[in-house]
Structure 1
Amino acid sequence: MWEGGSNPSRPMGSKNLDIKNHDLVFNELMQECRHSPPGARLSKKLRAGLEKMRPEERRELCRRMRDGCAPLFVASKRGNVEIVEYLIHVCAADLEQRGVYEVADDQMVHSVTPLWCAAVAGRLAVLRVLADAGADLNACSDSGSTPVRSACFMTRAEVVEFLVERGADIHRPNHNGGTCLINSVQSLRLLKLLLQHGADVNACDMQHKTALHYAVQEQRVEAARLLLQHGANPRLASCSGDDALRIACLKGAPQVVAVLSAATHFCPARVADAYELLGATQLDEFNDLTATLISWRRATAIRHAYGPYIGKQPQRPPQPALGNAREWRTSAELEALAVDVDAVRTQALLVAERVLGPAHKDTIFRLMYRGASYADAFRYQRCIDLWTWALQIRLEKDSLLFSDAPTDTCHTASALTRLLLDAHGSRLERARGLPRHVDVVRVFALLAEHLPACRRALDARPVHKKQAETFDRALRCVTHLLHLLAETRGAQRAAVCARVRRLLAADVRSAHTGDTLLHLAVSRLNVIRSTYFADEVPVPAPGPGQPHTLRPSRRPVTHRPALPHTLRPSRRPLSVQSPVHPLVYPIQ
């Protein structure tokens, strides 16, 4: 099968035969690399065929790839030490030729060297052969991750120890700033090894998070204690403004909170804030009222233990969305609240707003979640109040174009508009008298105020597709809110018309199609899509006598058939989808 070795003096027919034989040898080589058990050698016949070739031909054959991988890469991944040694020493295979490696956990495909692949796969014997042959110990993947860092992530302790002994760089981060130490918080053995070899305990990634942040985030109590003993700074804050103590509270981890409080000298006010936030998380995330009260009692005791009462800072004005409630001060006030679960939940929101700040992503998420819970309990007005507050915070902190699921601005606006529409259309149980005119006007004013500036921001090229889609969704929300305002009468009508005229004067058009408000108002494709609502109801056609005079337009208005609605299933379906609501009165 393998006769016909290469000879430059042979005629063309012999060279073609050589090429055919090389193809056969390569196919057989890949087959054995893929399917030979660990410890197996290449077959005698295959070795004979390879050794008939000239050295440069063997090397070139070993550079050929199938499915993105060369023979040495496949053998390294499978841990076939004998085959790896043969390919390196007999075939002179390229030690740095990259192949495709798929990480099962995150389903990501990386371009890496054989040594990187062997390290991640835990093939220590193969790793030793590659290192002895001179393979680069610090050859990074396409994401900038070194073999030792990736081995830390996979908790390959023996591999990490070997690479560190051979001088691998444990300080080099990947493209996102992640270090070996950050990747090792799940293993005390690895943490001790890296710290003994001088790993920077306070090195940050791109989110300004250290290994301590991640240890606390994953509730690794012993890892956090070890990092603190080696000088980890618990006061360093991430991009979100969260230090280690706050992260422990947000994760509902009382043991970690205790470790951090004991190891670091935090002022009494800070410790009291921590236990108050911990209690709020235990209620909101774990629905554990008993644990919440224990944490809050401890916080109250701390505030009263050092002479004069330690006030809660910063002091914020009463929030109408929370019924103008105030936080408790004394143990007696706390015990009085304990019998009223709804009051306790309100206190949890007050604590989150004060300690985290109203613009913190966790605060906004808790407002949305608590509002959804009120809607499930048929307390729609409380839901409207909380979601409107969340929308206002988002618009003030970021913008209408902000998109960072699950708390993006337009998601909040869509869910709120949808709730108002369903309440108006009598599709919600026990929603008599809703929505209130003042609520609709407030939501409309919040959106209309920000639309012109956001539309101007989209004039710059190139346009981010998601931002353009977000803007168009917000514009559709405004047209549906106008439908709700159509029934305004008396002095309120004049104020509404004035607001609408200001919006029309800005000539706000959709980002993708350039539609005016009038076009959107009469379009049968104009629907509100929100993950809080899931079903579809028939869309009524515009009836006779409905004027189309929202704004003069030179563009012809066409009525197109409605497309099927494809909302994702919701964890909390409240009601059916609202139909299109064409405007029913002219703006004078």
Structure 2
Amino acid sequence: MLVAAKTSGATPLVIACRNGHYEVAEYLIEKCSADIEQPGSVMFDGETIEGAPPLWCAAAAGHLDIVKLLISHGAKVNSTTRTNSTPLRAACFDGHLEIVKYLVQHGADIEVANRHGHTCLMIACYKGHLTITKYLLRLKASVNRKSVKGNTALHDCAESGSLEILKLLLEHGATMDVDSYGMTPLLAAAVTGHNHIVDYLIKHSNLVSRKERIDALELLGATCVDKKRDMISALYLWKRAMVERYTQGETPIPKQRTKKVAAYDYVVEISDPDALDDLMADPDEMRMQALVMRERILGPAHPDTSYYIRYRGAVYADAGKFNRCIELWNYALDMQQSMLDSLNPMIQSSLFSFTELFSFMMGEEGKQTSRGRLIPPVDVVEILRVFNKAVREVKLGNEMLEKMPNVERDMTYLTRVLVITLHMACLLTRLMEHNKSTNEVNKEIHRAIYNLVKLSIKTRNGRTALHLACCREAALLGRYPACQFPSPHLAEILLEVGADPNSKDDEGNTPLHLAAMAKPCPASVAQTLLNHGAHIDLVNNSGETFATLLKGQQVHELVNTTKYTKLSCAAARVIQQFKIPYKGIVPAALEPFIACH
């Protein structure tokens, strides 16, 4: 019983194998009959690996003696973690060559991929382990096998910058395939800024076309601007690309015309070699050129396209140019919402960044930035613009989840997006409270919040938007908290546009119950709920009322109970207290009313 027990998710044998304690592992196996396959949770490089068998732990940590011990006692050499990672793949990850050889000699399958389709060869290439790569290739590892996202081992070494491994793969028949984003290994090297990989590949006309050479040079130049802040190298690379386009004695390949974008300051991509030199005098336009180029080459679906738009916006915000930041971030958010699945983590991240930015601007208005600029007042119309996009994300996310079977439905992402959306609503109510919006805009805000409430979203634990507004745990953790939860102002507007004050979550709690659990319960929230029809004496599934849930507070300190207690409620409580039979005696419509008291 002791050796099978888990501490922080790991058995004693898993812990001993992870930390290299040979004698302890031997004792547990031989004297205590520990289950040699019982998995556990272990930490590697700050990440929790779930369902890791003892052999996987020893192989990943590089303990060859324990690997031999486990296999000698019959450990399954191809056992996997929850993500389908084998002990062999774990050894390849951290470059433990002797363990790799030992596992293969004892039947390890080199082609078992993890749940993402990444094989042992792919991970050895990505991590730059040349000797392991050579060994796997001698064993005829599949060199052109693709992962779930379509990348090959050649993509992995191009992305990590290992030229020696790249040459080795090409010698063994690796081909320049595209992944699910349409990226070749050449473009993968350009995106990550590996000049030496790009230079090597573009010299081989049998591997890459002229257009691919041009795209790679231009993309590498954009990476120099945004990732390395190296304007001189970027210009050099863009000039090389221009020469390839127009002056190589072949038919010119003109640049594809792209629409002018307000977020990019309506920049038109330069196609004149002489005009490139003028860019050095205008770094800001050069940065916009890099964004336009990247979007043209990678397309809007590639994560790096929106990532660098957001990055450039953040740089503008740091410099005090908040309008430029907001414009770029809106463009990136529109791009993400049009290309990605609803509730995608990248969309969540964009919406969360907006809440932090708007909260910072509201909290620091009128103060100077580190660059000496004054922080302007936030424009309520800009928050409303993003809020409407957030409501759309909640709506589409909920529709997507409703199509899934209950067993596959995970409410985590929908809950987070709704919480972010409510924080933006909270900011809007604060601006309304301080008369920083016109009557027309106030109507728009009410309409937008009504659109959110009428969706009748139930998140994790069956909670509505009003539940979250009255719940302490719904507060977003960030550098600049958007507003404090529970929020009376947010609760007020949600109730005004039709939120149900007596809606119950999965535990039978109404928003009033959650407010009582806030410790301390804000009197303003309780009074707001009661003034809009919340029942003060409803019981949850545990038989608790608002009054009994208060800790360290008395109900009369918060509200005048007489004002909110009806004679019908008092009668219902008496029936319940004395267990008076009522079903089939009172009118049927009254039965649920009595039951909830």
Q: Deviations over 1:110-136 (max 9, x none)?
A: 666666566555555665677677665
Aligned match of 1:147: 87
The 5 A counterparts of 1:168-187 are 168-185=108-125, 186-187=128-129
Say which SS state the counterpart of residue 181 (structure 1) adopts. helix
- The offset of 1:216, in angstroms, is 1.8
Q: Which of 467, 479, 493 does residue 414 from structure 2 map onto?
A: 467
Aligned match of 2:352: 411
Q: Is the 8 A contact 2:218 2:237 kept in 1?
A: yes
Distance in 1 (CA, whole Å) between partners of 2:197 and 2:313 is 30
The 5 A counterparts of 1:255-334 are 255-263=196-204, 265-306=207-248, 307-313=250-256, 315-334=257-276
User: Measured at CA, do residues 527 and 538 of structure 1 come closer, stay the same or move farther in structure 2, by a change above 3 Å?
Assistant: closer
Aligned match of 1:217: 159
What code does the residue aligned with 1:284 have? D
Q: Is the 8 A contact 1:524 1:561 kept in 2?
A: no
Q: Is the 8 A contact 1:417 1:481 kept in 2?
A: no
Q: Is the 8 A contact 2:51 2:81 kept in 1?
A: yes
What code does the residue aligned with 2:266 have? N
Q: Is the 8 A contact 2:387 2:421 kept in 1?
A: no
The 5 A counterparts of 1:112-127 are 119-120=59-60, 122=62, 124=64
What code does the residue aligned with 1:474 have? T
Distance in 2 (CA, whole Å) between partners of 1:94 and 1:533 is 50
- Is 1:247 the counterpart of 2:188 in the alignment? yes
- The offset of 1:329, in angstroms, is 0.9
Q: Is the 8 A contact 1:79 1:126 kept in 2?
A: yes
Aligned match of 2:427: 480
Structure 1 residues 378-387 or 454-463, which shifts more?
Answer: 454-463
The 5 A counterparts of 1:73-222 are 77-78=20-21, 96=36, 98=38, 102=42, 104-106=44-46, 108=48, 119-120=59-60, 122=62, 124=64, 136-141=76-81, 143-185=83-125, 186-222=128-164
Aligned match of 2:312: 370
User: Measured at CA, do residues 375 and 176 of structure 1 come closer, stay the same or move farther in structure 2, by a change above 3 Å?
Assistant: closer
Distance in 1 (CA, whole Å) between partners of 2:319 and 2:92 is 47
- The offset of 1:364, in angstroms, is 1.6
Distance in 1 (CA, whole Å) between partners of 2:427 and 2:18 is 62
Distance in 2 (CA, whole Å) between partners of 1:292 and 1:562 is 57
Choose between structure 1 and 2 for higher RCO, CA contacts under 8 A separated by at least 6 residues: 1
- Is 1:68 the counterpart of 2:26 in the alignment? no
- Is 1:380 the counterpart of 2:322 in the alignment? yes
Distance in 2 (CA, whole Å) between partners of 1:265 and 1:494 is 61
Say which SS state the counterpart of residue 408 (structure 1) adopts. helix
- The offset of 1:222, in angstroms, is 0.8
What code does the residue aligned with 2:100 have? V
- The offset of 1:69, in angstroms, is 4.4
Q: Is the 8 A contact 1:131 1:137 kept in 2?
A: yes
Q: Is the 8 A contact 1:272 1:303 kept in 2?
A: yes
User: Measured at CA, do residues 532 and 279 of structure 1 come closer, stay the same or move farther in structure 2, by a change above 3 Å?
Assistant: farther
Distance in 2 (CA, whole Å) between partners of 1:499 and 1:399 is 27
User: Measured at CA, do residues 71 and 281 of structure 1 come closer, stay the same or move farther in structure 2, by a change above 3 Å?
Assistant: closer
User: Measured at CA, do residues 539 and 505 of structure 1 come closer, stay the same or move farther in structure 2, by a change above 3 Å?
Assistant: closer
What code does the residue aligned with 1:200 have? S
Distance in 1 (CA, whole Å) between partners of 2:458 and 2:77 is 50
Distance in 2 (CA, whole Å) between partners of 1:64 and 1:436 is 57
User: Measured at CA, do residues 71 and 481 of structure 1 come closer, stay the same or move farther in structure 2, by a change above 3 Å?
Assistant: closer
What code does the residue aligned with 1:152 have? C
- The offset of 1:199, in angstroms, is 0.4
Distance in 1 (CA, whole Å) between partners of 2:35 and 2:393 is 58
- The offset of 1:144, in angstroms, is 3.4
Q: What is the aligned-residue RMSD (CA, Å)?
A: 4.9
User: Measured at CA, do residues 472 and 117 of structure 1 come closer, stay the same or move farther in structure 2, by a change above 3 Å?
Assistant: closer
What code does the residue aligned with 1:467 have? L
- The offset of 1:349, in angstroms, is 1.3
Q: Deviations over 1:261-283 (max 9, x none)?
A: 23453222222121111111112
What code does the residue aligned with 1:476 have? H
Say which SS state the counterpart of residue 203 (structure 2) adopts. helix
Q: Is the 8 A contact 1:73 1:117 kept in 2?
A: no
- The offset of 1:452, in angstroms, is 4.6
Q: Is the 8 A contact 2:39 2:51 kept in 1?
A: yes
- The offset of 1:365, in angstroms, is 1.7
User: Measured at CA, do residues 130 and 363 of structure 1 come closer, stay the same or move farther in structure 2, by a change above 3 Å?
Assistant: closer
- Is 1:234 the counterpart of 2:180 in the alignment? no
Structure 1 residues 66-75 or 388-397, which shifts more?
Answer: 66-75
Structure 1 residues 163-172 or 251-260, which shifts more?
Answer: 163-172
Distance in 2 (CA, whole Å) between partners of 1:525 and 1:74 is 42
Aligned match of 1:514: 464
User: Measured at CA, do residues 528 and 386 of structure 1 come closer, stay the same or move farther in structure 2, by a change above 3 Å?
Assistant: farther
Q: Is the 8 A contact 1:321 1:389 kept in 2?
A: yes
Aligned match of 1:335: 277
- The offset of 1:472, in angstroms, is 3.0
What code does the residue aligned with 1:262 have? K
User: Measured at CA, do residues 155 and 505 of structure 1 come closer, stay the same or move farther in structure 2, by a change above 3 Å?
Assistant: closer
Distance in 2 (CA, whole Å) between partners of 1:171 and 1:285 is 35
TM-score (norm 1): 0.68
User: Measured at CA, do residues 550 and 294 of structure 1 come closer, stay the same or move farther in structure 2, by a change above 3 Å?
Assistant: same
TM-score (norm 2): 0.67
- Is 1:402 the counterpart of 2:344 in the alignment? yes
User: Measured at CA, do residues 126 and 531 of structure 1 come closer, stay the same or move farther in structure 2, by a change above 3 Å?
Assistant: closer
Q: Is the 8 A contact 2:446 2:493 kept in 1?
A: no
Give the number of the structure whose alpha-carbon radius of gyration is greater. 1
Distance in 2 (CA, whole Å) between partners of 1:317 and 1:169 is 51
Distance in 2 (CA, whole Å) between partners of 1:118 and 1:449 is 48
- The offset of 1:481, in angstroms, is 3.7
Q: Is the 8 A contact 1:473 1:528 kept in 2?
A: no
Percent identity between matched residues is: 25
- The offset of 1:467, in angstroms, is 1.4
Q: Is the 8 A contact 2:14 2:39 kept in 1?
A: no
Q: Which of 353, 357, 380 does residue 299 from structure 2 map onto?
A: 357
Q: Is the 8 A contact 1:70 1:99 kept in 2?
A: no
- The offset of 1:374, in angstroms, is 1.1
Aligned match of 1:504: 450
Distance in 1 (CA, whole Å) between partners of 2:20 and 2:255 is 58
Q: Deviations over 1:48-79 (max 9, x none)?
A: xxxxxxxxxxxxxxx99998346998699545
Distance in 1 (CA, whole Å) between partners of 2:35 and 2:471 is 62
Q: Is the 8 A contact 1:403 1:410 kept in 2?
A: no
Q: Deviations over 1:312-340 (max 9, x none)?
A: 23x32100111101111122111011221
Unaligned 5+ segments in structure 2 are 503-510, 520-527, 529-597
Unaligned 5+ segments in structure 1 are 1-22, 31-62, 565-581, 583-588
Distance in 2 (CA, whole Å) between partners of 1:188 and 1:389 is 42
Aligned match of 1:40: none
Distance in 2 (CA, whole Å) between partners of 1:399 and 1:206 is 17
Higher helix content, 1 or 2: 2
Distance in 2 (CA, whole Å) between partners of 1:455 and 1:131 is 48
Q: Deviations over 1:208-229 (max 9, x none)?
A: 3322222122211111121122
Distance in 2 (CA, whole Å) between partners of 1:447 and 1:339 is 39
- The offset of 1:420, in angstroms, is 6.1
